[in-house]
A and B are shown apart, each in its own frame.
Chain A
Amino acid sequence: MLDWWLPENVSTYGQEIDWLFHLIYYITGVTFILVFATMLAFIVMYRDRPGRKARYTHGNTTLEIVWTVVPALILVILTLLSVPAWSKIKMTMPETDFIVQVTAKQFNWQITYPGPDGKFGTADDKTLLDEMHVPVNKIVRVHLKSQDVIHSFFVPQFRMKQDAVPGREIKQWFEATKPGKYELPCAELCGFGHSGMRGWIYVHTADEYAKWAAQNLTAEAAPTTEAKPDDKADAKKEAPGKAEPKKEGKAKK
């Protein structure tokens, strides 16, 4: 019952977003109750009854000033509280040596690792389809691109969302705090296959990640772009078919 709420948060900055969310929730909740209680009270007290006469008044300047200034102050405070989190999440880019390129296309996420040489655009780059593997407690930088329409990189449990815009490379970051397997849906309408455009982010412990990387990102590992489903650790794969660039199924012209 109570899990009808925000999904579990597993990223560092997610806490700040959740804190602001709850703050606004309580402020608006209290405002809602006060306004509705007043309205209901007025509806009951001032309903038309025999002999009742309405008060003849055009307003009250003091009241007008109070109910202009008080909401304005609350909103200014909310703005000031929002600024630090926003600037931390979107305007600063913490240093890290862990960079992944994500290129969205109709209707997949292509995740590219730089390979052993640590550089993108070289022959040893590894590209996986709809799956990303990262170590826990490590700042991960995502270089987000799109090769066709606008998509949106959304990880609910990370409280992370960023549109991928064709013609741009947008840099984002996150730091996961708990190992697990998290969904990566597309949040921006991108065509008939939008629903179901979904990848998985596997957050591993440092050891497990090292093991996974050794098997999958080294030169000997399966060649790029056809990213073989890694057969060990994660049994819950949707197995074959996933690597071939779909197109069937939903595709209907």
Chain B
Amino acid sequence: MSAHSATAHAHVDHARHELGFVRTYIFSTDHKMIARQFLFLGLFMMIIGGLLALIVRWQLAWPETAVPGLGGILKETGGILEPSTYNMAFTMHATIMIFFVIMPILAGAFGNFCIPLMIGARDMAFPFLNMLSFWVTGSAGIIMLSGFFVEGGHAAAGWTSYAPLSAVASYTGVNWGQNIWCISLFIMGVGSMMGSINYITTIINMRAPGMKLFRMPLVVWSLFITAILLLLALPVLTSGVAMLLFDRTLGTNWFKPAGGGEPLLWQHLFWYFGHPEVYILILPAMGIASEILPVFCRKPIFGYHAMAFSMIGIAFLSWIVYGHHMFVSGMSPALGMAFTVTTMIIAVPSAIKTFNWLGTMWGARMQFTVPMLNALAFVSMFVIGGLSGIFMASTPVDIYIQDTYFIVAHIHYVVFGGSIFGAFAAIYYWFPKMFGRMTNPFLGHLHFWGTFVFFNLTFFPMHIIGVGGQMRRIYNPTQYEFLVHQQGWNVFITYSALLLGVSQIPFVINFFWSLFAGKPAPLNPWNANTLEWTAPSPPPHLNWGPTLPTVYRGPYEYSSPESKEDFLPQNVPPVGAAGARRH
């Protein structure tokens, strides 16, 4: 035993005895505790974001009728949404879901949990910065929620907050709400930068012996690429919201044409961040699916290198496609044509990934566990979201489709069908390692099937009403003669959305019941190969005992002829070499 491991061992014991409640559970520098904190933050915010969505849906199905349960909050109107309240509801639904649900869960929770455990590191490179990253993001969340309580209501200019609507208070009637929106996202941007620097440094410097870059699990690859995108994209949003806030409060004129500003500048800044952001939301879910499929197919991932390189390709291309959000914005149509080309090209790596997932399923021995079902749902829903994207990539078709429910359907197939199913897959898959207990499979199946069925019944019909021309962000579709015949669909969608909400109840019960009373998890419940399953469940501070695991092979050696069992963990020495390596 080397001197280094001896100190590590001493440190492990030391840590366990010394840390009090506050340092263990609240201001913890342990990446696993920070991961749990991000998970709780994301799940809590998901309840708020989800309820906001249901409020929006109620108004669209039964316009200007009292929303059940809102009578006590909207006293003046008896629970009926006014247009300004409605605008606030969809603005905050999207803002919360994107910045405070999907990013904290996928990048925050699973980035923190998976990276050190799967590359064989004891913690993040900068544990203190890691703690700060959570508390900065958490503060941003609290600030964001405080906006609901200020005079004039919360931001109501859409999650895209197009200037000058967002830049001048009198255009929306919202004053402090929009300011708080800017301040909160600014702080969130700083928190996310702290996290991304940490992820990148940890992955580059702290891999266990033998963990070459191309032996890394694909989920680590995806988080690595996501962190690079976060590092480069978020500062653009951060500067953008700062400029917007200055326009609102200090009298600058970045985006106000009256003072010589340029409204399209906001859109360029926003989408230059916004398109990489879409991939920030989906790449970790792609990594999660690539991780879970081989385990429950009992088969190596098909085309490991193609999977890694296609993610790199997506990351690179994601910087030069953003203009497809702006085809009819008044941006030069010649530029629009260039963005069509890049947008069509970015579909190729996504196609490669889909076919490789299918390749992984070919000749498999599939076990339909709850994480596997969610991963399969991810793949299939991502296919629909990807295919509907091709309509918008074609500029002439986009002229008609832009700003309709077709876009709403597309984005929900990608970020709900994609990212959220990915998040559920990850929660069910790593729950045993994260909390040391198994989840209940019956409740898990109930949750999965309810979510899968009602997700599709909610969002698929949105394609249809979008093709019919229904604009997004309208308060009352029945005001328009050409939309009236589709109103039945809006009612249908709202019933489905309500049932989709109800389908989340088994998840909440399962989560908390398993947390306290679930079956204790064994070391490696899924017979998986990656390093996190060699640490105890849940892993102690600093993850492993005195010796860090050594890596001898790639992460997906399932059903390998080298092994009698159908899996071959990364840290098991090759036959014949056993004991050859000393520590």
Contact = CB atoms under 8 A, between A and B. Distances in A.
- Do A and B pair up? The answer is yes
A185 B330 contact: no
A59 B303 contact: yes
Chain B contact residues: helix, strand, loop or mixed: helix
Contacts of B365: 46-49, 52-54
Interface residues of B, number: 98
A123 interface: no
A83 B473 contact: no
A187 B400 contact: no
Contact of A43 (B361, B383, B471): B361
B262 A71 contact: no
Interface residues of A, number: 89
B542 to A, nearest CB: 34
Contacts of B390: 24, 27-28, 75, 78
Contacts, number: 283
Contacts of B361: 39, 42-43, 46
Contacts of A76: 344
B527 interface: no
A55 B363 CA distance: 5
A38 B358 contact: yes
B337 interface: yes
B332 to A, nearest CB: 9
A53 B344 CA distance: 39
B348 A55 contact: no
A20 B397 contact: yes
A78 to B, nearest CB: 6
A56 B560 CA distance: 6
B387 interface: yes
B302 interface: yes
A56 B561 contact: yes
Contacts of A58: 300-304
A17 B399 contact: yes
Given A60-B302, A149-B165, 10 more contacts: A7-B469, A17-B397, A47-B366, A67-B355, A68-B352, A86-B395, A150-B164, A156-B400, A170-B330, A198-B480
B474 interface: yes
A39 B358 contact: yes
Interface in B72-91: 82-84, 87
B364 interface: yes
18 contacts: A13-B396, A24-B397, A32-B383, A32-B384, A35-B354, A39-B361, A56-B560, A64-B356, A75-B345, A82-B394, A91-B333, A150-B164, A159-B399, A166-B164, A189-B165, A192-B172, A194-B474, A198-B479
Contacts of B379: 39
B157 interface: yes
Contacts of B299: 54-57
B257 to A, nearest CB: 3
B344 A21 contact: no
Contact of B485 (A3, A53, A148, A187): A3
Contacts of A157: 482
A162 B330 contact: yes
Interface string B384-407: 100110110111110110111000
Nearest to B262: A167
Contacts of A247: none
B173 A60 contact: no
